[in-house]
Amino acid sequence: MEPRAAAELLKAWALEEGFDRAGVAAVEAPEHGEAFLRWLARGDQAGMGYLERRVEARLDPATMLTGARSVLCVALQYHPLAGEDDPPGPERSDLWPRVARYARGADYHDLMTARLRRLAARVAEAFPGSATRPYVDTGPVLERELAARAGLGAIGKHTNLLHPEAGSWFLLGELFTTLDLAPDAPLADLCGSCTRCLEACPTGALPEPYRLVSDRCISYWTIEHRGPLPEAARALVGEWVFGCDLCQEACPWNAAPAGADHPELRLPPERAELDLAGLLRLTREEYAARFRGSPMKRAKYEGLRRNAAVAMGNRGDARYAPALTAALGDEDPIVASHAAWALERIGDVQAGRDS
């Protein structure tokens, strides 16, 4: 089969497997490889040392699969339908901690990997002798670079991929293949002179277009960082318990994203009923049951409870005092110390309101 026809066939199969968009990129050195090296050299990766490993492979995607010639890139929309599963308003502010939208439902790694594996089996059957290898946010893959080359979007100033119809509310996956597939054309820049995302970041994590400084990023502190949060970081994370959507919410392209609704990515009942106090009180067994199959497990049991305590402190609501006081005797010293910090912060906030 000639390369263009083969590419169109695989993209059609990707849509049949439940992905919202698909495109093809050639296996070539990344255009922004030098920018990635400069990002590492500045230390913008903060404590994510794993990003410094296998740099050579990140800069040479052909190493992901022997004989690789093409990459089928896929996108899965995760923004909910209008009016449904949105961040809670003031009247529901105690019902659900602030969590990045992509992380509310099932773990996208599992969901997308299963679909890519089914797609890989279909390719193997149709093209005997070919080989494939799937990736979903794993391995030394510069996935946004590949997806941009495959026409799935243009890299925005907030460093996320932007699509004119889908905004940036989508997740990425890749299927490396030895097949010769005709590549798609990349999209033109979508940001222009707009800097709303940079202005919306409350912590200065986006000091300039296309640069993310991890140790100022709410997502880094609430997801990747292990151990106690530095004092400065506690105020930075605000009310977020896992991740952050502020730069994406500010983007004009994200006002009304298109794309299918995937029920698996919606907030399930066992987590919808958890308020911040309930999250802090979770036992290890309850955590394992409620967060089974959730991407929020990336923060670990201790991290989520630590983050809940910090969010309570930053909300400054005296109603959280009983839960925080109980946590002062927690067996985890990190949770206990952050509960103490939160109680002190609530006291300061209340004193300020009364003065």
Which amino acids are annotated catalytic?
137
pLDDT of residue 35: 83
What are the pLDDT tens digits along the chain (355 aa)?
Answer: 899 999 999 999 999 999 999 999 999 888 888 888 888 888 878 888 877 888 888 888 889 999 999 999 999 998 765 445 554 544 445 556 899 999 999 999 999 999 999 999 999 999 999 999 999 988 888 999 999 999 999 999 999 999 999 999 999 999 999 999 999 999 999 999 999 999 999 999 999 999 999 999 999 999 999 999 999 999 999 999 999 999 999 999 998 777 677 889 988 888 888 899 999 999 999 999 999 999 999 999 999 999 999 999 999 999 999 999 999 999 999 999 999 999 999 987 666 666 5
pLDDT tens, 22-55?
999 999 888 888 888 888 888 878 888 877 888 8
pLDDT of residue 177: 98
Q: Are 53 and 140 in contact (CB under 8 A)?
A: yes
pLDDT of residue 354: 60
0.85 exceeded by the pTM? Answer: yes
pLDDT of residue 31: 83
Between CA 294 and CA 267 the distance in angstroms is 10
pLDDT of residue 140: 84
pLDDT of residue 230: 94
